[in-house]
């Protein structure tokens, strides 16, 4: 298991979402520094001193300045929105051909991973299941639920999708790092919600084929 505080960014989709997060972070830092700079400038430049015992004159209006501080934030928000929409479109896009297809079923309080043409892996709160994925290959994940609303969440993949009874939610996942990653149910679903976990193990394609064939013959 990965024990680092920061997510491992273990998929191409996670990398795109992390990029968007950093864009927002840098934009927030720039705006914050600019606003703090203006506050500091005003506090120093217009402070009351022996040479300036009275506040300086105030203007009733300054149209250019008022337009600027209205338009600038609007342009920033529009730019962030457009960039985010572009990234989310890439993340939500699904390939026409998938090397791996897995039907994920959530239930209180466990998961079932049914591979197309391969094994079916079941687990419970006491014995969490393990989803095995090949490194660098596109996996189609189709999530649903047998009872109440659950949420399929892999923190290191920066991806979470609700599992809703009677509905199938599909998305692609392309692992970029080998290792074992913790998965959880991200939606409170009852008494043992906190125990409803699973693992995602990313291995080389050759190792994945060996695992798949071995599981299928059991």
What CA–CA distance (Å, rounded) separates 120 from 132?
Answer: 11
What CA–CA distance (Å, rounded) separates 29 from 92?
Answer: 28
| Three-state DSSP string of 165-176 | ECCCEEEEECEC
Sign of CA dihedral 75, 78, 84, 87: negative
Tell me which H or E stretch contains 185: strand 179-185
Give the residue from 157, 199, 195 showing the smallest Cα distance to 180. 199
**Which pTM value belongs to this model?**
0.79
Residue 58: the pLDDT is 67
Residue ranges of the domains in the chain?
A: 12-92, 100-216
Using DSSP, state whether 4 is helix, strand or coil.
coil
Where does residue 27 fall: left (phi above 0), alpha (psi -120 to 50 degrees), or beta otherwise?
alpha
CATH of 12-92, one of 1.10.10, 3.40.50, 1.10.287, 1.10.3470: 1.10.287
Query: Which residues sit opposite 197 in a β-bridge?
Result: 184
Contact between 128 and 109 (Cβ < 8 Å): no
Helix ranges (DSSP H) in the chain: 12-45, 63-92, 205-216
Residue 213: the pLDDT is 85
**CATH code 2.60.40.420 for 100-216:** yes
Give the residue from 172, 13, 156, 149 showing the smallest Cα distance to 102. 172
25-84 confidence digits (pLDDT tens): 999 999 999 999 999 988 887 777 777 777 666 677 888 889 998 999 999 999 999 999
- Using 50 as the pLDDT threshold, list the residues of the chain that sit under it: 1-3
Exposure string of 87-107, with b = 16+ CB inside 10 Å and e = fewer, is beeebeeeeeeeebbbbbbbb
Q: One fold for both 12-92 and 100-216?
A: no
């Amino acid at each position: 298991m990965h024990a680092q505080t920061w997510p491992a960014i273990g998929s191409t989709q996670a990398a795109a979402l992390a990029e968007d997060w950093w864009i927002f972070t840098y934009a927030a830092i720039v705006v914050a520094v600019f606003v703090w700079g203006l506050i500091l400038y005003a506090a120093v430049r217009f402070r009351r001193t022996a040479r300036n015992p009275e506040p300086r004159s105030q203007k009733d209006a300054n149209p250019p300045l008022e337009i600027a501080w209205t338009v600038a934030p609007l342009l920033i928000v529009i730019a962030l929105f457009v960039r985010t929409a572009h990234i989310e479109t890439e993340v939500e896009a699904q390939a026409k051909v998938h090397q791996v297809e897995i039907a994920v079923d959530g239930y209180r309080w466990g998961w079932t991973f049914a591979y197309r043409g391969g094994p079916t892996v079941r687990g419970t709160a006491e014995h969490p299941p393990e989803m095995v994925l090949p490194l660098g290959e596109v996996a189609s994940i189709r999530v649903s639920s047998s009872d109440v609303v659950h949420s399929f969440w892999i923190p290191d993949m920066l991806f979470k999708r609700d599992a809703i009874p009677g509905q199938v939610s599909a998305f692609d996942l392309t692992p970029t790092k080998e290792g074992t990653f913790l998965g959880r149910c991200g939606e409170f679903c009852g008494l043992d919600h906190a125990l409803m976990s699973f693992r995602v193990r990313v291995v080389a394609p050759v190792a994945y084929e060996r695992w798949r064939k071995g599981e299928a013959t059991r």
